[in-house]
Structure 1
Amino acid sequence: MEKKEYLRVSEIAKIKGMTSRNVRKIITELSEFKNEDLLRKNKAGQWEVHHLLEPKFKRKRNYKQKYFALSFKTYKEYKPKEISKILEHVFREIDDPSLEIHYTIEKRKANGQPHVHGYVKISNKKRELFKTLKLLFANMSYHESQIFDLNGWKKYITKEGCTIISLIK
């Protein structure tokens, strides 16, 4: 890919994962110290930033990831419909307005039992979520982890052609 010499505000915002407002704020701060070869406005009045200044645009705050990955398997044989009903019940039981559960049910290759992969968004009732899951699934083993690439996780959980089932409040 060919690297541009000058980048626009929207391009920097997209690359660095920040808002264009923050990019313009940093440009205003830098314009006091940098010459017009590095920072300039084009004929349309839009800022253009030389690619050498790209490292100056860093996020000041890292935001907390909204979703976490959840995978679990049960040691009792549940049918996929039963798992869906139980997860819907878990969803109804937890009183959190921001709760989202997105999941797929697939069969394990080793023994053919279903297991669940998904990603969950919850504000502050994570402990209650796991307590309810453990209560409703007789015997289960689960793993939760941070998601660094949500699209990659979505591809992984749908690798066998499963569709993502979403429960959103």
Structure 2
Amino acid sequence: MSLLDIAKSIKKDGFDPRKDSVNGQPAIPAGTYPVVLRKATFNVSESGWESLGYQFEVRGGDYDGRSDFVTFGTLDTWKTRDGKTVDLGWSVEKTIKFFQKAIVLAGDQVMNSDFDDGKAMEEALQRKAVGSYFNLVIDEGVSKKGKEYRNYDLEEEQSQPMMSADEIDDDDLPF
């Protein structure tokens, strides 16, 4: 795709250089959204921080097609720049709970080997959770120190009933 093609696409999507930010669209607001899990990745940054990331795409409503990226740390301790060790056990518990919900709500089973390391967790999500539909619950708040945060949770997606073989005609088939 050429630079001109990209510029035309941006204009077609409604970008107004006088009004809109170049940094993209604002975050999807707090609420519950039907989503599909598009991608799950394990990442180790240059600093050594390890995280498990999820890319959810909203399916329907005002935010149809928009993605939200959710990241959870997988280290239970972290050494700060000033040499202090911080206990992050509470954070890893949240990581594990979210991971287990994604696996189970996708109709898969959690295995002991899924917890070998972050890469094993990524591979477990790719077995069946990636491509599955969920309801993503986004909650926003402000901490005691005044810092804004977002919490994420998953709920089972209430899908439409399957069509019976009698209801399918040739126009419904992809070939």
Q: Tell me which interval the TM-score lies in, with the shorter structure as reference length.
A: under 0.3
- Higher helix fraction (1 or 2): 1
Q: Say which structure, 1 or 2, has more relative contact order (CA 8 Å, 6+ apart).
A: 1
Larger radius of gyration: 1
- Higher strand fraction (1 or 2): 2
Using the size of structure 2 for normalisation, the TM-score is: 0.22
Using the size of structure 1 for normalisation, the TM-score is: 0.22
